[in-house]
Structure 1
Amino acid sequence: MDTGRESESRADGRRAGRRRRGPVLVGTGILLVAGVSTVGALGLGGGGADAGQAGQSRSSQAVPVTRGTLTDQTEIDGRLGHGPEVPFPVKAKGTVTWLPETDRTIRRGGTVLRVDDRPVVLLYGSLPMYRDLGMVEQEPATTGGGEAGGSGEGAEDADGTKNTDGGADGAKGADGVDDIDGGTPPGRQPAPPAAPTPLRGMDVKQFETNLQALGYSGFTVDDTYTTLTADAVKRWQKDLGVPGTGKVDAGDIVYASGPVRIAGTSVRVGAEAAGSPVSYTRTSRMVTVAAPAADTDWARRGSEVTVELPDGRSVQGKVASVGKDASAAEGEGNAEGEDGGDDAGTKAATVSVVITFDDQESLGRMESGPVTVRYVVEQRKGVLTVPVAALVALAEGGHGLELADGSGKGADGENTDGASRFVPVKTGLFANGRVEVSGPEVHEGMKVRIPK
């Protein structure tokens, strides 16, 4: 009986020894971070001789430890186009007599539409056209009063007698006798009409800047609409084929920040010009992304991203703007959450991110379509890396690499002559199937084994 128990005890000891010393390889199909953690938790089997047999049964493929930049990127879907549509606030009243074609590009001085056969012209600026522009007409001045004309009620004649009729008709002469003709006494002239006064404001300067850019001169670009401005406007109006009044009605102009692309029209020729009959976008192409509201740390203005186009090419872009208001995506989330929780709304909330391109030619002829946006989550430069598949979880804890040349330490930490020899490493960033490694025994160019 004692002999049987001793044999069983020795057998248990051998099994325990196998669990202590053998390494376990990290398979390529295991998720980067979770996979390595799982392997490190497994029981390890096999002694020194067994480790050598394991090494013989594994692939002889070896890869070098390399130094370089490791980048962890995340992908998100986007849409290539010309950005959001913006309606033109047309103030002209009347019947629409002409509309532009969709996708047409309109620049400064171009016609956005025609109302009552009068063009509504595009100019560049940030201020809207909120009033008519022109010289300000003054009310005619009244003549008379006192000794000059005796036109006010109670004005006195030269002899001190009060003129009670107060009007031009029946004005009294120097002798107190009524002037029968009621006209201006001899030697007196009627007051000239008041001259128009200049209109002032930043909207005037914005308009004059455009007028000069269109080639009309003879005035000073400032915030004052003078007679010289009016003269230039008359020449401009003549070229437009409209009456040269020298005045600009609020409905004659619409402003945009630059050239525009006609996105569409909401009325037909013959309809009333009301509201916003024409909408536009920017002429340059851009990508719009509905980013999760809880994950917009990457979306900082000026941040660089990589955009994969529908034709498979990749181009560089920059984040131009990030929306301030979150909106729920249609068909996602519910009031109580898919799992009955109260936070489902955060899953559906998105923020609009606009990505622009400095080099529009890099986009080729592609005008629209679905794209993939890649942005950097984390990046490490000048680090040592190996394929994730080369990692092994050591029995004493942590991770290691199996040396392809057989030099190094065994799984139990001692120098051996066995086929499987390992060096411990510290892992860092996981990205693109590779992992950052470091340690006193790891150097660039050393060869390590990877499994099949």
Structure 2
Amino acid sequence: MTPARWVLGTVAAAVLGAAAWLWLDGGTAGAPQRPAAGGLPPATAKVTRQTLVDTQSKAGTLGHGPATVLSSKLAGTLTRMPPVGATIRRGKDVYRVDDTPVTLLYGSLPAYRALSPGVEGADVEQFERNLRALGYEGFTVDKTYSSQTASAVRDWEEDLGLPQTGTVELGRVVYAAGPVRVDAHEAAVGDALQPGTAVLSVTGTSRVVTVELEVSEQRLASKNAAVGVELPNGKSVKGKITKTQVVIDTGGGGAGESEDPETKIEVTIAISGAKASFDQASVDVAFTASSRKNVLTVPVAALLALAEGGYGVQAVDGAATRIVPVSTGLFSGGRVEVSGQGLREGMTVGMPS
């Protein structure tokens, strides 16, 4: 005879929750069987066609994202800083050195040299775009720092209370992708600054969720992929992965912590609909590991581990039963994708009690 036993729980984890309860009389698998009295399964379920989505939940932090430390490129005394939590926009002071402003501009290229007539490059064009956005005119936005650009810069310097040199001093501007929020002070008013001295750290102004994944989980971190975020109040909001980057976690070096650096995948997620009261909190993020559209599924508990190997389901047709061998696919939410000859949507299959 051909024995089979019910597999309870997740087959992928090989968890057998109880002893086998079904033994069918001899015959070829798939042939109708007439069980003895009481031989019908104690419960049944239907084969359904649906989309299965496998999600994996990871812990994340709701906040403003990773902070960036801004260091001075000027020497002097730190005379003013904005308070923690303040928002700084284009053209405004990031901090002041010797009571002169260090100004925020928008761009991806960091300032790395002074700008003066005759200088050419992408950094010139980036600066000129900002100068035009601040309302200064009379020059062409291009990669050449012209005498017309210098004239507009003198107007800008006058408005800032600076000597009118027509040259952009290295360290006079700081670039960021957009408005920034002051996250922490790295120095104190009155400190003497040298080029390279950390002054403050900033983040973006939008609230985002940050998750650290293991390198082996990188498949979850697809840019622009949709995720679900569960807030501390139990409500869920939609999110989208906007950035992924490799980071090195050096560890805290405390008791019981490894001092060996560890590579992680840092994922930044933009969210919508979170209440303002959740400015910073721990959250759970549901990543979509994989999905299968329009597939036949049965409850995981309906799977039989066949004595000859592989899996099957017990098809029930009135008082008759037969074993249908199946191939399994994605497991999700207590159901499993199945395929096999003779399997069809709406079929009744046996279940344990």
Letter in 2 for 1:316: G
Structure with the higher helix share, 1 or 2 = 1
1:88 match: secondary structure: strand
- What is the CA–CA distance in structure 2 between the aligned matches of 1:332 and 1:52, rounded to whole Å? 62
Report the counterpart of residue 37 of structure 2 in structure 1: 52
C-alpha distance 395-51 of structure 1, shift in aligned 2 (>3 A): farther
| Aligned residue among 134, 151, 160 for 1:240 | 160
Aligned length: 340
What amino acid does structure 2 have at the position aligned with 1:320?
K
Contact 2:246/2:263 (<8 A) preserved: no
Asked whether the 8 Å contact 2:6–2:21 carries over to 1, the reply is: no
Alignment match, 1:33: 12
| SS of aligned partner of 2:142 | coil
Taking the aligned partners of 2:129 and 2:160, their CA distance within structure 1 comes to 18
Aligned residue for 2:325? 425
Aligned to 2:91: 109
C-alpha change, 1:407 and 1:35, in structure 2 (3 Å) is farther
1:295 to 217, 225, 228: 217
Task: Tell me the amino acid that sits aligned with residue 155 of structure 2.
Answer: R
Task: Give the aligned partner of residue 133 of structure 1.
Answer: 115
Aligned equivalent of 2:67, options 82, 85, 110: 85
Change (3 A) 1:93 1:46: closer
- Which among 246, 258, 280 is matched to residue 368 of structure 1? 280
Residue 249 of structure 1 is matched in structure 2 by 169
> Aligned in 2, Cα 1:214/1:372: closer, same or farther, shift over 3 Å?
same
Q: Scaled by the length of structure 2, what TM-score is found?
A: 0.81
SS in 2 for 1:297: helix
Q: Deviation at 1:327?
A: 5.1
1:95 aligns with 2:95: no
| Aligned-partner Cα distance in 1 for 2:165–2:23 | 98
Contact 2:94 / 2:104 at 8 angstroms: preserved in 1?
yes
Query: Does the C-alpha gap of structure 1 residues 121 and 333 become closer, same or farther in structure 2, counting only changes over 3 Å?
Result: closer
Residue 235 of structure 2 corresponds to residue 308 of structure 1? no
Structure 1 contact 319–353 (Cα < 8 Å) conserved = no
- Tell me what 1:355 maps to: 268
d(CA) in 2 for partners of 1:209, 1:262 = 24
Which residue pairs with 2:54 in the alignment? 72
Q: CA deviation at 1:134?
A: 3.6
Mapped to 2, the partners of 1:83 and 1:306 lie a distance apart of 17
Once the two structures are aligned, what percentage of the paired residues are identical?
Answer: 41
Distance in 1 (CA, whole Å) between partners of 2:272 and 2:57 is 24
Q: Secondary structure at the match of 2:292?
A: strand
For 1:265 and 1:232, locate their aligned partners in 2 and report how far apart those are by CA, in whole Å: 33
Q: Which has the larger radius of gyration?
A: 1
Whole-Å separation in 2 of the counterparts to 1:100 and 1:428? 60
Give the conservation status (yes or no) of the 8 Å contact 1:40–1:394. no
Q: Give the Å deviation of 1:406.
A: 2.4
Structure-2 residue corresponding to 1:151: none
1:199-221 per-residue CA deviation (whole Å, 9 max, x = no partner) reads: 44443332222111111001122
